[in-house]
A = this chain, B = another copy of it.
Amino acid sequence: MQYLPPALESLVEHFNRLPGIGAKSAQRLAFYVLDLPKEEAEAFAQSILEAKQAITSCPVCQNLTEGDGPCALCSSLRRDRSTVCVVADPKDVIAMERSGEYNGLYHVLHGVLSPMNHVGPDDLRISQLVSRVASGEVREVIMATNPDTEGETTAMYLSRLLHPFEVRITRLAYGVPVGSHLEYADDATLARALEGRQEI
């Protein structure tokens, strides 16, 4: 016996497909949306459509943006245009910006090299990075891919690719996370932290 009207069932299913939303949460969210004032529910639906339609890639850094021109970061006159931080994902730009310590530009690869998942260099925004570096404006490229196997491999691949250009290539430091406990740090992290120890 079906006890949810089809239109509601469909909404529950759509929520259920989102990452981290189980059957119970999906139902709760669907009922919540159903209880919203008509205008708010419509605004929600509209924001999904608009995000899909309006969001494009910045022609410079490949990060998400709106319209045809360069994104707000690439157009900013306050940013240091000689430094480019290479990240895998738009979310990583947000994380870096949150730190408040970086004042250069970015380059978003939209993924990492992953032979297992059939992701090769042509599937990432690598040629655009090479063009940027080749243009001569860039002095330093900071590799900030995730410190896991695929992130490391991608950083290594890119550093070799950019080697012919007169550009400094660096990598985010490894070490123990601030505020964490040594006790819980894994061996590899501790070894790297020791290796990269600095004078105080």
Q: Which residues of A contact B (CB under 8 A)?
A: 1-8, 10-11, 13-14, 18-21, 25, 27-34, 36, 38, 41-55, 63-66, 71-73, 76, 90-91, 93-94, 97
Say which residue of B14, B21, B55, B73 sits within 8 Å of A44 (CB atoms). Answer: B14
Q: How many copies does the complex hold?
A: 2
**Taking chain A's interface residues, is the majority helix, strand, or loop, or is none over half, making it mixed?**
helix
Instruction: Give the Cβ gap from A123 to chain B, nearest Cβ, in Å.
Output: 14
Contacts of A50 in B (CB 8 A): 7, 10-11
Q: Which residues of B contact A97 (CB under 8 A)?
A: 1, 3
In the complex, what distance in Å separates the CA atom of A51 from the CA atom of B33?
Answer: 9
Is the beta-carbon distance between B30 and A20 smaller than 8 angstroms? no
Query: 3 shortest A-B CB distances, which residue pairs?
Result: A7-B54, A45-B45, A45-B48
